[in-house]
Chains A and B, each alone.
Chain A
C-alpha cells in the first residue's frame, strides 16, 4: 500500500503540505517567538490613520520586523496571527474528525452487531443525525452556549456531534457485511463475547473504509470551522482563526487585498492538501468507494 501511495504524486505533495501545516500548528508559539512577535499586541504606529487604518508602507506593511505585514485597523502582526490561526483550523478539524470516527464506529458497530430492535432504533438515530442541517444548528448551538466555555474544544465537539452520521452509516453497513463472513461466525460459535467479536473481528475490517472517509472529513470539518468562525460564532477574539480573519477582511479587501489573500491562500492550500491525501488514500485502499461527505 505504501508503495502505491509513494508513486501517487498528488498524495505525496498533499501529505507534505498537510504535514507542514500540522507542524506549523504545533510549533506556532515557537514560530511566533522566532519572529519576535505575538498575536495580541497592537501596533498603531504602523497604521496610516489618514487612510482609515490601513497599514502604511507597501504590501500591507511588510518589513523585516513584521514578515507578512500587520493587520489593518489594529496593527497586530499578521505572521503570528496566521500561524496561531493554523492551530485553530487544523486542531479543530482533526479533533472533530477523531470524535466523529469514535462516535460513528461505536454507534455503527453496535447497530450492525445488535439485534433487530437495537439496529432499528440506532438506525433511526443515525438517520436523524444525517438529516440535521449542520451549519445552521452549529451556529444556533454555539450562540446559546455560555461565552466562557473553552471555545476550540466546543467547536470540535459541536461539529462532531452534528457530523458523525456518515461514519456511523458506513460502519453499520460494513459490519452487516462482515458479520456474515465465516471467520466472524466461527468466533461467535466458539463463544467469543460480542465485545471481543467487535474488537478483534469487525474493527480490523472497518479500517480501510473508515480511514478513507475520515480523510475526507478532515477538510470538510475545516471548511465548517472556517465558516463558523467567519460567521462570528467560532473562537473568541483575540484568538485568531483563518475564517475569522477572512470575515474581517470583507471590510478591508478594497484597501488591503493582501489581507484577504494571505489567510485565504493558507486555508485553500491546507484544504487542498488534505483533499489530495484523502484522494490518494481512497485510490490506494478502496478503488470502489466513491462516496464523499457533502
Chain B
C-alpha cells in the first residue's frame, strides 16, 4: 500500500512536470512575442521594456524555464524598472497587467469555482441516481421513457444553452429569481445559494444524465446477478434487496467518478462562469485572454492540470477504499 502510494504520487508528479513543460513550451515558444502577450492590453513602451527585463526574455529558453521552475518552488523576484515585484512560492508568474502575482489571483478565485463544482456535483448525484434508479427498475414504462429521453438530451446540449434557457424561464418569464449576481458566502449564505442555484442546476442537468445512465445499467446488471436470485429465494423483502444489494453494486463505479467529475466541472466551468458572471477561475481565464495577460493564462492552465492529476490519483485511491476486490500494487 505504501509502495503503491509512493509510486502513484511519483507518477502524478511526473505527469505534472511534463504538463508544465508542455504548457510553458507552448506558450513561450508561441509564434507571438511572449513579452507583448505578458505586457497586457494597457501596454506602454516603458512597461514593455520592464517586462522584457523582468522576464529575462533575452536569456536562452532553458534558462528561462529553469527560473520559472525555481519560482514554483522557492518564489522569485521580478526586477521591473525602479522597484522589484516579489512573487512568493509557489510562483506561477507575475501579472503585470493587474500588478499581482498569479498565485494570489488564483487563490482568490478557487473557492468560487470549487463551490460551483461541488454544489453541481451534489445536485447531479441526487438527481442522476434517483432518475437512474427509477429507470433501472423498469416499473413505470412512461417514466423510463422520459428518463431515457432526458439522458439522451443531456448529451446533446451545451451548458450555456441550458443556462440561457433557465435564465429566460426563471428570471424573465416567471420572475421567480433575480438575475444572478455573485454574493460571497461570508456576506449572506442565503443570497449566495440563491445566486448559485441556476449555475448549479444548469451544470447538474448535464452531469446528472451521465449518472442516471450509469445507475440504470448498474442496477439492471446487478439485479440479473446470481446473488440477487439467491436473496430472493431466501425470501428477503424486495425493498431490502434493492436498497442493500442492488444499489450498492450499482453505485460503486460512481464513487470513483465523483472525484474526477468535480475536477472536470471545475475545469469546464469556464462557460458557466462566463455565462452567469461568477468570479471563478474560468472567468479569470476569459478575462486574461481578453486583456492579453499571458502569465495568468499559463497559471490557470497549470492549475487545472494540477486539479485533474490530483483528482485522478484520488479516484484510484477511493476505488481501492470502496471495493475490496481491488488490490493496489
> CB of B168 within 8 A of chain A?
yes
Per-position 1/0 for B293-308, Cβ under 8 A of A: 0100110110011011
- Across the interface, name the chain A residue whose C-beta is closest to B173: A257
> CB of B26 within 8 A of chain A?
yes
Which of B53-61, B114-122, B153-161, B237-245 is near enough to bind chain A? B153-161
Per-position 1/0 for B153-194, Cβ under 8 A of A: 101111111001101100010000000000000000000000
Query: A139: which B residues are within 8 A, CB to CB?
Result: 270, 285-286, 289
- Bound together, the chains give a CA A226 to CA B159 distance in angstroms of 10
- Across the interface, name the chain A residue whose C-beta is closest to B267: A133
> CB of A96 within 8 A of chain B?
no
Chain A nearest CB from B30 CB (Å) reads: 5
> CB of A101 within 8 A of chain B?
no
Using A131-B15, A294-B264 as known contacts, list a sample of 11 further A-B pairs with CB atoms less than 8 Å apart, ordered by residue number in A.
A131-B19, A132-B305, A135-B270, A135-B271, A136-B267, A137-B301, A140-B300, A253-B164, A257-B168, A272-B152, A272-B156
Per-position 1/0 for A218-256, Cβ under 8 A of B: 010001001100111100000000010011011001100
> CB of B275 within 8 A of chain A?
yes
8 contacts between A and B (CB under 8 A): A133-B307, A139-B270, A140-B27, A140-B298, A260-B165, A260-B168, A271-B157, A276-B152
- Bound together, the chains give a CA A39 to CA B157 distance in angstroms of 26
Query: Is A136 a contact partner of B300 (Cβ separation < 8 A)?
Result: yes
Q: Among the interface residues B23, B164, B282, B300, which one has the most CB atoms of the partner chain A within 10 A? A: B164
Query: B26: which A residues are within 8 A, CB to CB?
Result: 141
Q: Which of B220-255 touch A at CB < 8 Å?
A: none
Given the known interface contacts A139-B285, A144-B30, A246-B164, the answer about A219 and B156 at a Cβ–Cβ threshold of 8 Å is yes
- The prevalent SS among residues of B at the interface is helix
> CB of B198 within 8 A of chain A?
no
> CB of A59 within 8 A of chain B?
no
> CB of B32 within 8 A of chain A?
yes
- Bound together, the chains give a CA A290 to CA B151 distance in angstroms of 14
> CB of B274 within 8 A of chain A?
yes
* A interface with B by C-beta (< 8 Å): 124, 127-128, 131-133, 135-137, 139-141, 143-146, 219, 223, 226-227, 230-233, 243, 246-247, 249-250, 253-254, 257, 260, 264, 267-268, 271-272, 274-276, 279, 290, 292, 294
- Bound together, the chains give a CA A131 to CA B16 distance in angstroms of 9
Chain A nearest CB from B142 CB (Å) reads: 18
Query: B152: which A residues are within 8 A, CB to CB?
Result: 272, 275-276, 279
> CB of B312 within 8 A of chain A?
yes
Chain A nearest CB from B106 CB (Å) reads: 13
Query: Is A140 a contact partner of B289 (Cβ separation < 8 A)?
Result: yes
Chain A nearest CB from B284 CB (Å) reads: 11
- Bound together, the chains give a CA A249 to CA B297 distance in angstroms of 26
- Across the interface, name the chain A residue whose C-beta is closest to B294: A144
> CB of B22 within 8 A of chain A?
yes
- Bound together, the chains give a CA A268 to CA B165 distance in angstroms of 12
Query: Is A128 a contact partner of B297 (Cβ separation < 8 A)?
Result: no
Contact of A136 among B153, B270, B274 (CB under 8 A): B270
